[in-house]
Structure 1
């Protein structure tokens, strides 16, 4: 037999033999896999169908593109799972791959944890490490932190349109130039004796005229707040009101679908940005238009805003915009006027403010009216209040121009609170090619508010004869020193936020990362004299450790009856409080290796300056 013929026969019979062996091994490995209860494939839940009268807002914990996610998962499968070669592992690999592609991060974290702990170097490429960060963000995005609000069932806002007739009112809790806020709650049953109905200017439209309010304004009794906007010039039409007051609705989660509102939402979405929900942004559950009711003290608090049908000297229109939101305990301004918080509490507050601003900036929105009375606090944990940014009436949410607004004439609004307006905004002059750059303007305002948070007078406010700095021409060297008990890194961070030129100012996300690292990172990373920055693997190990703590320890305890306890009751969240886990989750939700390294490099540079001095 020739060599050629022998080779042909060997290849033919050898191929059949290998197939038979592989088949037997495959059957054996499948039986073993069944015995060890290999995870079965999960079926994704069907998409929720909403009532056609409700326009739901997109969840705030989903800002990473689907294509990026699929690419990260493919990197895992192609470069990690496919390196396992034995037949049993191959079968398990297929099952794990199916679970990962359907959104289950359990197998992923298990594999990554073993890899990092053993030091085998499976994950070595930078893109693969960033893929791990993507998985961390995905895992954190699925947390439901709002479960702590036991008094507020958010699902009721998704299924049933809200109107004034559904609410009972407490006492007024705040009043400004453009709106009034009342304590509110849902009625258990509509009581006809509470509401009398009269005929409006158009006889076929019923209008709420008189609403009896309760004698108490206890936050446990009234966990909601209803904000009623004053309407002097806009006609009593839902479309007209929503178009004129759209800024107030930017962070809202659900719109009440009056006639034509769905079309309005579609049109508005083409021109303006929506802000996904975030723990440090005010929780507005529902937005709707309705007729102005006669509420307690309305003739004393805001007589001019009332329509003539309720007050002869009123100048307001019959209809206005109403925002139903979570009720908060106090404002930052009132809190700081009565309490001197500890240094750690102040750092937690400042970090939350930076997290809220980073969230705004990442979605191309500028608040433009940041001040201490527009920052609200949930005081369920007195040592770690939850801070939220509220009052978006002056915000910029232009989808076409983003944060770079053409400034062609003085008629274009620059925003509110001129005292805390960033230098690049207040000094800008209109012109053909002039632009208002809001990319770091809110960060500048946060730097000024930081003085109040850490117990010092705001240098841009005049008080008790003290001359204030002017945002138009101040010198950075004139900024007063923060108290000595404020850590050096935080003091330098506040200075970095108040740089006059925006290109010299720190990035909002990096600023938030600096505070987060100061709170949670290993102390060895923050000490002066650090010779070498942590490697990407070390950073990733730390991020995975934080993720594990949040996922495993940050759980709500249940009462003996099985239901979630009230937010006003004591919770146990492992070693940390609920607000601290909430803050860590915000950091992990946007964690990227490049940005964490940038924050560490900034801290390292600051420490080098300290050593040089």
Structure 2
């Protein structure tokens, strides 16, 4: 546009522009950044009153058109440009308050939060309040005793106050032998005479089981052995230091994942490193693992790792063979297996070698054996990766027992962005072990008809049917956790809840398609908590009507059943219970 055209437009519209400038209320519409420090709203003029707003005279604007254009342009620039890139007073105050809460005096804010929590309004919802009650239940149950053996407290006290060595143990006959270790029956020498006075039975004389690891290539010092075999000691309550270990080495050891106590995890009283002793039957069972000072042909090192555990009666494999087991006992065994797996997953541990040989039973209660998971040598317990392990090359160890390895693990191929996800692999293995519990044989080992499924390529519809007497909920759950796609499986916690609900929940909840309200679920949880805390402690009282040394009074249920309920309550959450109920109803 030419200069002449611009001048013409200004001349034509100049009068309108000047009129608008003159009518502008500077007190209300021309606030700059400095004006915002003290903002005061002018009172609106009412009838019979004059506004105190100063009006710029028309003749002043006409005489100073150039000046007014300059002022107006400057204020437009301030209001529309600087205000967008400069913090307003409100923004400054918000930032100042945030800095005060995070780095300064946060007491006023926390006081507000405390008042809101106490009143139950403003911050947390009603549902969160109910979850808070679940937290209180979990806290109360966490103080419940997690032991079946009445002598466990005695051994705990001894191992905590006394340093245990090989010389303090009285070894009996070997119980079991594997590729990496041998297990001996044992007892404390200091308690041997007292044990014999109680009972001359062989079981009482050797109430412990000591697992000695085979050491072929680890140098004979405590820290090297512990570093190499740290997975084995995951459930250990105590490490006894018999040799010189630096403080920084002990601190390094403490950074490993420690698995808290649980009734379905093996009771491991303590672990220690010591020199390999000359034990009964060693030259016939494991001559290659012996040091040359004991066996000239041996290839083992002088020192190794010793795990002191509670002695159990048998393995699950031995228990399920040739025995007439009641259906309820089978359901209790399967539920305990799921509870143990849920406990491992919650604490970021994958066992990776579950099989009936690694599941031990305490059969003190005839119809309600206690099942525990043992042998953590192949486990994944990494604080950095959790249950997901990078798989760049084939050399990465996937775990043990490929026959019962989950499909997503055994079929995974290595690559730059490849991962092994173990979050539901133990649960899948539990589904295969369910066949050993309810049927007596595992289809992934081979059936009596010669058929055998392979986890790498099996079809879900070819899974054998469970017996007719097995409840529909259990059949539905086993079918779900054996799905090839892990995304279609329940997680271990919800799966364990399904079995717990089947055992203890009101029948109306299971038969009705209506999900109970949160208040109803909470009332049921509180009733279970009361039963466990009041009736479950009766195990300390001996039963005068029984001659067996390990039989005790109970409430309406056996003590292993109380342990099972307690393990459920210890992790109870409304959200997971609802998910389990929805799964039951959808089936």
TM range (shorter): 0.7 to 0.9
**Are the counterparts in 2 of residues 421 and 441 from structure 1 also a CA contact under 8 Å?**
yes
| Closer/same/farther in 2, CA of residues 560 and 140 from structure 1, 3 Å limit | closer
Please point out which of 540, 564, 569 is paired with 1:588. Answer: 569
Please point out which of 212, 216, 219 is paired with 1:232. Answer: 216
What's the secondary structure of 2:537's corresponding residue? coil
Q: How does 1:112-511 map to 2 (within 5 A)?
A: 125-146=126-147, 148-150=149-151, 152-188=154-190, 218-257=202-241, 258-260=243-245, 262-270=247-255, 272-463=256-447, 466-511=450-495
Deviation at 1:157, TM superposition (A): 1.5
Partner of 2:64: none
Deviation at 1:263, TM superposition (A): 3.0
| Closer/same/farther in 2, CA of residues 310 and 398 from structure 1, 3 Å limit | same
Cα root mean square deviation, aligned: 2.5
> Which whole-Å deviations, capped at 9, do the CAs of 1:386-409 have from their partners, x for residues lacking one?
000000000000110111100011
Distance 2:467 2:211 in 1: 37
> Which whole-Å deviations, capped at 9, do the CAs of 1:19-38 have from their partners, x for residues lacking one?
xxxxxxxxxxxxxxxxxxxx
161-170 vs 407-416, which deviates more? Answer: 161-170
Distance 1:497 1:440 in 2: 9
**Are the counterparts in 2 of residues 380 and 567 from structure 1 also a CA contact under 8 Å?**
no
Deviation at 1:77, TM superposition (A): 6.9
Distance 1:247 1:566 in 2: 41
Distance 1:462 1:338 in 2: 18
Partner of 1:78: 118
Deviation at 1:416, TM superposition (A): 0.1
Distance 1:329 1:261 in 2: 39
Deviation at 1:581, TM superposition (A): 0.1
What's the secondary structure of 2:155's corresponding residue? coil
| Closer/same/farther in 2, CA of residues 480 and 74 from structure 1, 3 Å limit | farther
Partner of 2:560: 579
Distance 1:574 1:320 in 2: 45
**Are the counterparts in 2 of residues 231 and 316 from structure 1 also a CA contact under 8 Å?**
yes
Deviation at 1:457, TM superposition (A): 2.0
| Closer/same/farther in 2, CA of residues 605 and 265 from structure 1, 3 Å limit | farther
Distance 1:323 1:161 in 2: 14
Distance 2:542 2:584 in 1: 46
Partner of 1:536: 518
Distance 2:492 2:541 in 1: 40
Residue segments in structure 1 that go unaligned for 5+ positions in a row? 1-69, 83-122, 192-215, 607-613
Distance 2:317 2:440 in 1: 13
What's the secondary structure of 2:270's corresponding residue? strand
What's the secondary structure of 1:183's corresponding residue? strand
| Closer/same/farther in 2, CA of residues 514 and 531 from structure 1, 3 Å limit | closer
Distance 1:580 1:221 in 2: 28
Distance 2:471 2:584 in 1: 12
What's the secondary structure of 2:210's corresponding residue? strand
Distance 2:542 2:513 in 1: 53
Distance 1:384 1:594 in 2: 29
Deviation at 1:364, TM superposition (A): 0.7
**Are the counterparts in 2 of residues 165 and 190 from structure 1 also a CA contact under 8 Å?**
no
| Closer/same/farther in 2, CA of residues 599 and 225 from structure 1, 3 Å limit | same
> Which whole-Å deviations, capped at 9, do the CAs of 1:20-79 have from their partners, x for residues lacking one?
xxxxxxxxxxxxxxxxxxxxxxxxxxxxxxxxxxxxxxxxxxxxxxxxxx99x9699703
Please point out which of 548, 552, 556 is paired with 2:530. Answer: 548
Partner of 2:40: none
What's the secondary structure of 2:190's corresponding residue? coil
| Closer/same/farther in 2, CA of residues 472 and 558 from structure 1, 3 Å limit | closer
Distance 1:453 1:180 in 2: 26
Matched, 1:524 2:508: yes
| Closer/same/farther in 2, CA of residues 427 and 124 from structure 1, 3 Å limit | closer
Distance 2:373 2:141 in 1: 22
What's the secondary structure of 1:603's corresponding residue? helix
| Closer/same/farther in 2, CA of residues 261 and 581 from structure 1, 3 Å limit | farther
What number of residue pairs does the alignment pair up? 466
What's the secondary structure of 1:575's corresponding residue? coil
Deviation at 1:190, TM superposition (A): 10
| Closer/same/farther in 2, CA of residues 568 and 448 from structure 1, 3 Å limit | farther
**Are the counterparts in 1 of residues 264 and 372 from structure 2 also a CA contact under 8 Å?**
yes
What's the secondary structure of 1:153's corresponding residue? helix
Distance 1:156 1:506 in 2: 42
Deviation at 1:141, TM superposition (A): 0.6
Deviation at 1:147, TM superposition (A): 6.7
**Are the counterparts in 2 of residues 336 and 452 from structure 1 also a CA contact under 8 Å?**
yes
Deviation at 1:509, TM superposition (A): 0.2
Deviation at 1:264, TM superposition (A): 3.0
What's the secondary structure of 1:188's corresponding residue? helix
